[in-house]
Each structure stands twice: as C-alpha cells, then as structure tokens.
A and B are shown apart, each in its own frame.
Chain A
C-alpha cells in the first residue's frame, strides 16, 4: 500500500463520514459546521486530483462564502422565531430524496468507471491554442477566451440571484440598508481583527488576480476573498452597508457584466463573433474585462450573504 493510496483512502473515508453525519445532524449550526468541514476536505480532494484552480474556488466559495451565507440565514431564522427542523419531512419525501441521490451517485460512478481509457478530452486542443490567447494558465484561457460566454452568463446569474434575494424584502424596506445594525465594541477583539485582516486579504486577492493569467487563480477567487473581507468588516461593525437604492451600489454591481457585454459586442464588430477577441489584443481585453467583473462579483457575493434590506430607507 503506497503512501498516496493511504492518503487518498483516509481522505475519501473522512469525506463520506462527514457527509453522512452532516445529512443526519439535528442541530442546524452543527450541520453548517459539517458542510464547511466538507468543503475544506473537498478542497484537499481537488488538489489531489491536480485541479488547484478548483481547489481555490472550493475553499473560497464552496466552503467560505457559502458557509457564511448558511450561518447568516440560520441566524435570521432563529431570530425570527422559526425553528429549523420543527416539522421533519415526511417518509415519502425522504425516500424520494434517497432514491434520487442514489441514482445520481450510481450514474456518476458509472461515468467515471466506465469511461474509455484515455477519457475523451479537449485538453490538447486547448493547450495548442494557448499562445494565441497570451495566457499561461489553460483554466483561465477556457474561462475567459474559449468559453467566455459561460463566464458572462455566470456573472449575470449571480446578479439575478441578488435581485431575487432583494425581492424578498417587505415593501416598506425597499431601498433601505441590508442586514441589521451591528453593535460591536470598537476597541474589542473583533474590531481589531477586522482592521488587521482585510488589508492582508486585499493583498492576497490582488496576488490571486494577477497570477491567475499564468498560475492557478483568477478573478472569481480574488473577488470572493475581497467579498469575505468586506463581510468581515461589516460583521465587526466597522462599515455599514449602503442603502440599496444608492446609484453607486447599483453601478458597482452592474459595471462588470456591462463591460463584459460591451466588449463582447465589440468583438462582433471587430473579430467576427460575440466575445471574439481581435488577434494580439486578447490578453489586454481579458484584463479590461476582469477588473470590473472582480469588483462586481465581490459586491454581489457580499450583498448576497447579507440578504434583503431590513431597515427603513433613509429620508
């Protein structure tokens, strides 16, 4: 038994155990802790599968921001008096869920185990055209050059999700500030942390953004780190969220997708297809797209976690 096999076996066992326990947990915060732990273990799995870009995204979004979102939702539910798990789902629902999950598992296992050796892949094609994009990281090339339309749609979907969350606000709060006012001691431990960590986080985010063109990284991971730092400052009461009808907020959220679409349309005129880049300018255009998109995604993720407006609009 080699060491790598031992490592992978322990990782796989721990993963299944944490997943099973999280599904069976009774207390909601216990389940959220379990799902955060699951995300961390998944990041290790992605590294073992030689996908550090996915590991970055899993650690940042799958574990970090989603964990924050679940915690925020749980806290709000508890504050409003709803008790999660008060009505356990019926037997039919649980059986259906078990059957569907089982089918998905069997299907995925069949795909992985029965796929022909070597598995069909476009990787050599992607690698062959990499120099034309001016990038050194094939994952970034796929996200921003070969399949830029998918990335554009993802960004728009995030924005639509935020609009959906905002639409849950009662009418009288529309246009107000999201979340509740945080009361924290400005000289306390939490405030100290929230002053110290965000600058470090922003430096790390800039590093991830810049290195994403040649190494694992990129705008999504960078934006997630920035969003998490903003949320930390908000949790500690250092900054308060702006009212959502302020034009600056809306501009910040929208500038990313708009720039993306504008450059895409320009590509129609200059290079023959939507989101095609004129030869030689690909890297520059990708950079011009990535900067506003990072800003928009950071703002969108932060506002998604905080939720719908809960305070009266000013004035």
Chain B
C-alpha cells in the first residue's frame, strides 16, 4: 500500500511538473495563474499521499496551509493583472 501511494505521488508530481510548461509558454497571465493553481492542488494531493505513505506528523497541516495560501496568491494575481474590479464582470455593462 505504501509503495502504491508513493507511486501515485510520483505520477501526480510528474503531471504537475509537466504542467509547469504552461507557466513557461502560456501566452497570457491567466494561463500562468492556472498552471500555478494546478501546482497548488497537485502539491496538496502529493502531500496527502506522502502523509500516508511515509508517516510523519504535520504533513496534512502543510497541505492545509498550502491550500489557503495558494488561494490567496491566486486571488492577488487575478486582482493585479485583471485591472479594476475583476470580480464583477457582469455589472461592467456586458462584454
């Protein structure tokens, strides 16, 4: 079981590492934010798998903090590149 979970962690890590290519290429800021978001979620998945495969206290807490702070950074990104009020495009008079 531990070996299987470790193998799954390797798969998810490789997936996420390859997804970083979108950070490199992504023609827009939105693409880069998405790749960083994938890394955040993938990192959480890897941490949860590692927590069970190689028992160590506190790893799930690291995943929790990762989730919170990744959300914060993504929001900061969108706010910074999105211009004024990216959160309410519906009220901008129709796009």
**Direct interface between A and B, CB < 8 A:** yes
Binding site for B on A (CB under 8 A): 3-4, 6-7, 10-11, 13-14, 17-18, 21, 29-30, 32-34, 36-37, 40-41, 43-44, 47-48, 50, 52-53, 55-56, 59-60, 63-65, 67-68, 71-72, 74-75, 183-185, 187-191, 193, 197, 200-201, 204, 207-208, 211, 215-217, 221, 224-225, 228-229, 231-232, 235-236
**1/0 per position for B29-54, CB-CB distance to A under 8 A?**
10011011001100100110010001
Cβ-defined contact, B66 with A43, below 8 A = yes
A-B interface pairs (CB < 8 A), number? 175
Cβ-defined contact, B66 with A193, below 8 A = no
Kindly list the 9 A-B residue pairs having the minimum CB-CB distance in the complex, ordered from nearest.
Answer: A64-B69, A216-B58, A190-B87, A185-B88, A188-B88, A52-B58, A14-B17, A188-B87, A75-B80
Task: Give the docked Cα–Cα distance between A155 and B84 (Å).
Answer: 35
Extra 11 A-B pairs, beta carbons < 8 Å, given A3-B7, A228-B69: A33-B77, A48-B50, A56-B61, A56-B62, A60-B65, A63-B69, A64-B70, A65-B69, A67-B73, A197-B71, A215-B58
Q: With both chains docked as a complex, state the minimum distance between the C-beta of B69 and any C-beta of chain A, in angstroms.
A: 3
User: Which chain A residue lies CB-closest to B40?
Assistant: A40
Task: Give the docked Cα–Cα distance between A296 and B67 (Å).
Answer: 24
B1 within 8 A of A: no
Most buried by A among B6, B61, B70, B91: B61
Q: With both chains docked as a complex, state the minimum distance between the C-beta of B26 and any C-beta of chain A, in angstroms.
A: 8
Task: Give the docked Cα–Cα distance between A7 and B20 (Å).
Answer: 17
Of A34, A52, A63, A65, the residue contacting B59 (CB under 8 A) is A52
Cβ-defined contact, A14 with B20, below 8 A = yes
- 28 A-B pairs, CB-CB below 8 angstroms? A3-B3, A7-B13, A10-B14, A11-B13, A21-B23, A33-B32, A33-B33, A40-B39, A43-B62, A43-B66, A59-B69, A63-B70, A64-B72, A64-B73, A67-B73, A72-B80, A184-B87, A188-B85, A191-B87, A197-B71, A204-B64, A204-B68, A211-B61, A215-B57, A215-B61, A224-B69, A225-B65, A235-B79
Binding site for A on B (CB under 8 A): 3, 6-7, 9-10, 13-14, 17, 20, 23-24, 29, 32-33, 35-36, 39-40, 43, 46-47, 50, 54, 56-59, 61-62, 64-66, 68-73, 75-77, 79-81, 84-88, 91
